[in-house]
Amino acid sequence: MKGHPFLQSTAQFISENALFGKEDILLCAVSGGVDSMAMVTALQLLNFRLEIAHVNYGLRGKDSDADEALVRDWASERNIPFYLKKAGPEFHLEAESSLQEKARDFRYQWLEKLASERGIQHLLLAHHAGDQTETILLQFFRGAGPRGLQGMLPASGLRKRPFLQHSRKEILSFAREFSIVWREDSSNAGLKYRRNIVRHKLIPVLEETFPSFESVLQRNARRMGHVSAAVDFLFSQLEQEFLLKTQPGKTEFKLEQIIAHPMAEFFMVELLLRNGFSFPDSEELSLRRKNTESVFRENAMGGRIEIRFPRLILFDSASANFPEIEIQLASNQSHDLPSGKILKTWTDYSAPKKLSAFSWMADAEKISFPIRLRLCVPGDKMAVFGMSGQKKKVSDLLTEAKLSPSEKAETWLAEDANGQILWIPGLRHAEICRLPENYFGPVFCMELLLPEEN
């Protein structure tokens, strides 16, 4: 039976792509459809060690429960471990346009968590050549680059696809020959989802017009894999050539050198694409690389770029790189900040020192702890020291200090548990810092230091 052409082809594909070995445990995602049922049957016949995982979304009532029963019984009859995840009622409330994406994310999150808990290194998915064709077409119409147009890979981290070389026709033939039982998902026949439209409307027209289009598409996908590798190599070389310095949350490049290079546009567009900017934004910013005025742009993920001759500065998402720090009323604490500086905090019972731009103090009994450090956001207001408690917009204070857009985006502050802004280090103090003359009560202090000053 192992000499069957379908099984031989499967074993050869697994070996050529070094997907997994006979000693490995394979966690198989099985829906109950023909693709996944054929996959686990083939792998069992090839004597691989299997465990079965099934998600029941409950979206099709009794049909969903019948899918679950089929997969459970198949595993039970063969003494194969079976794992089940039932989705909650939130899936019934989801809009049709986002249901597939939500279900996919839910499925993968559970499967990968299960694999991690079980110590399994291989999560098997039953994607086949037809799925690959649909994926590449969808990626093309979404505007994907070389990486997206190579489609799904046989191995992508934990995820392995041992059926990627098989056509739907080959899988059906194998399933019928070996009397494999499966269930049809009625939702696959409708035109509610974009992938189904591609499958049932677009692909038949392409097959009729270009009979060999699928094999050509697969071949070009493999070529795109080579192109993607070449792009990665060239970008890596240029990135090292143009790099000026890196700091936590920030990378600077030599803009003057980029501008003079024949691959300037390629490098800038690729750099921005890899950091969450859209292709139109990447092209537009690349064209503005020679501007004499500073250009600042933020993407949807919170990443930022500033083109400020002679430097190009790329910032990571500010919220992702600024630590969530809460400060309690305690003595002699130190907190590391992304800038490389250190914030020291302590309670002092001696006569208070004078305030400076990088030090802060206030009556400890008037502060609502914990103090929280965070980035400035639009709408922030502070009762500024020396203005009789009058509140002023933090954004106006930053503008008055003539901070650049990128410096504004990096500016952080300290606030108390009630949301009262206490301090913008290096810039302004709040009115709460005003202490009565001859005050000798507990004073809570903060000071910003360089590491060597610590």
Please give the radius of gyration of the chain, using alpha carbons only, rounded to the nearest integer.
30
Tokens 């208070």 -> residue? 352
How far is residue 242 CA from its own chain's centroid?
26
Nearest to 373 by CA among 399, 348, 341, 395: 341
For β-strands 295-298 and 421-424, DSSP reports them as unpaired
Q: What is the DSSP letter of 364?
A: G
Q: Which pLDDT score, from 0 to 100, does residue 353 have?
A: 65
Evaluate whether 217 touches 133 at the Cβ level (below 8 Å): yes
Q: Is 1 helix (H, G, I), strand (E, B) or coil?
A: coil
Instruction: Work out the angle at residue 334's Cα, subtended by the Cα atoms of residues 329 and 335, and round it to the nearest 5 degrees.
Output: 100
Give me the domains of the chain, ranges plus CATH numbers.
Answer: 5-220 (3.40.50.620), 248-319 (3.30.465), 323-453 (no CATH)
Q: Which pLDDT score, from 0 to 100, does residue 320 have?
A: 54
Summarize the confidence of residues 118-144 as an average pLDDT: 92
Find the helix or strand (DSSP H, E) in which 81 lies.
none
Q: Which pLDDT score, from 0 to 100, does residue 299 have?
A: 79
CB atoms within 10 A of CB 369: 14
Q: Which pLDDT score, from 0 to 100, does residue 399 have?
A: 85
pTM (2 d.p.)? 0.67
Tokens of 336: 């590391």
Q: For residues 334 and 350, what is the distance between their CA atoms, to the nearest angstrom? A: 20
For β-strands 381-383 and 342-348, DSSP reports them as unpaired
Return the minimum-mean-pLDDT range out of 142-151, 289-298, 331-340. Answer: 331-340
Is pLDDT of 148 > 50?
yes
Angle between helices 34-45 and 5-16 (to 10 degrees): 80
Tokens of 285: 């910013």
Is pLDDT of 93 > 50?
no
Tokens of 21: 């070995």
Band of pLDDT at residue 18, cut at 50, 70 and 90? very high
Nearest to 253 by CA among 310, 338, 316: 310
Q: For residues 113 and 115, what is the distance between their CA atoms, to the nearest angstrom? A: 5
Angle between helices 34-45 and 62-77 (to 10 degrees): 0
Q: Which pLDDT score, from 0 to 100, does residue 304 have?
A: 83
Instruction: Work out the angle at residue 195's Cα, subtended by the Cα atoms of residues 194 and 197, and round it to the nearest 5 degrees.
Output: 65
Summarize the confidence of residues 147-160 as an average pLDDT: 91
Summarize the confidence of residues 120-129 as an average pLDDT: 96
HSE-CB at 428 with a 13 A cutoff on CA atoms is 23
**Going by C-beta distance under 8 Å and a sequence separation of 6 or more, which residues neighbour residue 143?**
279
Is pLDDT of 180 > 90?
yes
In this structure, is the dihedral angle defined by the CA atoms of residues 367, 372, 373 and 377, taken in order, positive or negative? negative
The per-residue pLDDT for range 212-255, each reduced to its tens digit, is 988 899 899 999 999 999 999 999 999 999 999 887 677 899 99
Nearest to 382 by CA among 407, 345, 355, 419: 419
Q: For residues 198 and 201, what is the distance between their CA atoms, to the nearest angstrom? A: 6
